[in-house]
Structure 1
């Protein structure tokens, strides 16, 4: 293994083990070169790997600032359930089902999607806990005309697993909107927000492969626990 790779792995472990905490400055290139008994060029290569992996940010006049790597990644453009994200990113968490009831679709959603005034939905409300703290509040509205039943056990586990594997429906695509909004009384009641004044809100309208609208979701996230990621490639005009 190249020496700069060894240094990268050593510094990565130091960041993950919080020897260097978010906001800390790494030692200077000269100090690191002396510590590891290598050239500054070797240290620069190791720092580039840390930069590309999202562990540090270079800031002119300051040096290498350690970033918060404890946030969980939420894909912006993908259509992925929380359960799938939890499994792939090894998030040790718990879902608490607080509501699962049939009701009329709220008026503002009816107007947005031009739905009949008597549209019936399953309203599902869930708290997502990480390390004992409620950091996400999910609100889902599922059309009963497409999803006739939604058992509590399935709602607590994974809506999409039930819809796809039990009902045999094919989920196609979603349109998403991301906003940062002031916290509400409900947020204060159902989330552990510490001293936060705002939450990240993701609103999604979800469609089956045959283009039928079947789900509206409002997902409210605590600011310090997640980062929303995407991959973008520039295309020449």
Structure 2
């Protein structure tokens, strides 16, 4: 009940912010007020607010409260390991995934160096585009080590790779090392993305590891720059 309750509160508040029923720059009600409004415990309210903060809807300011942020662009968290499906489920917009390529191939020299593979190790290559409002705005290129992920189908890739890996294969995804750059759009970007006049894309490259620190995936996620705001939450550790 608790999990569904804070998710319901998160969804209600995020929709109101998305629809600008709660304006950017406004303060959310206090935890006590939200607790009364939603008939929920303060712990449940804190969980909903923490999710709003992680996903870029609010900024908590000590002594003031929770300030609503501008969400006219899609929020894409750069820390954490959230699948695209999980992000889309928390978005009011209707997202669609299209699988363009799913092949098993021998790793080339670049992948062998990047993923520390031997010459005989095979990898799955998956190319997917993500569309919203009939515009393809993300191009995902994934490489997964076959010895760890023995089988993949287009249906697995369209639904959610991480859901399949964790719930069907029983593996536990641990952490990722990420690099973010802004680059000129390639011919491949032009082919799969709705770029209009855009000449640059934001590229997030990730090496993804299981909980036992075993590398299993390299992914290159290419985003149309005008459609996203990359968000993170960082806390200073005081000595």
Q: Residue 196 of structure 1 corresponds to which residue in structure 2?
A: 198
User: 1:216 deviation in Å?
Assistant: 0.5
Match of 2:175 among 150, 163, 173: 173
CA contact (8 A) 1:105 1:141 kept: no
Aligned to 1:52: 67
Aligned Cα RMSD in Å?
2.3
Aligned to 2:8: none
Q: Give the equivalent residue in structure 2 for 1:186.
A: 188
Three-state SS of the structure 2 residue aligned to 1:224 is helix
Could you say if the C-alpha distance between residues 87 and 197 of structure 1 is closer, same or farther in structure 2, counting changes exceeding 3 Å? same
Which whole-Å CA distance do the structure 1 matches of 2:23 and 2:102 have between them? 41
**TM-score, length of structure 1 as denominator length:** 0.72
* Mapped partners of 2:238, 2:194: distance in 1: 45
Provide runs of 4+ in structure 1 moved above 6 Å: none
SS at match of 1:109: helix
Count of equivalent residues: 183
What does residue 236 of structure 1 align with? Answer: 238
TM-score by length of 2: 0.71
SS in 2 for 1:83: helix
Q: Do the aligned partners of 2:115 and 2:218 also contact (CA within 8 Å) in 1?
A: no
1:91 pairs with 2:106: no
Matches within 5 A, 1:69-80: 69-80=71-82
Q: Distance in 1 between matches of 2:82 and 2:222?
A: 16
- SS state at 2:118 partner: coil
Alignment of 1:136-215 (within 5 A): 136-215=138-217
Is 2:96 the partner of 1:117? no
C-alpha change, 1:105 and 1:90, in structure 2 (3 Å) is farther
Extract unaligned runs of 5+ from structure 2.
Answer: 1-16, 25-63
Using the alignment, how far apart are the partners of 2:128 and 2:138 within structure 1? Answer: 8
Contact 1:135/1:192 (8 A) holds in 2:
yes
1:146-189: CA deviation from partner (whole Å, max 9, x where unpaired)? 10100111111100111111111111111111000010011011
Distance of 2:107 and 2:84 partners within structure 1: 23
Q: 1:128 to 1:105 in 2, by over 3 A?
A: same
SS in 1 for 2:226: coil
Q: Check the 8 A contact 1:73/1:228 in 2, yes or no.
A: yes
Q: CA deviation at 1:12?
A: 4.2
Deviates more, 1:194-203 or 1:226-235: 226-235
Shift of 1:14: 9.0
Residue aligned with 1:52, SS:
strand
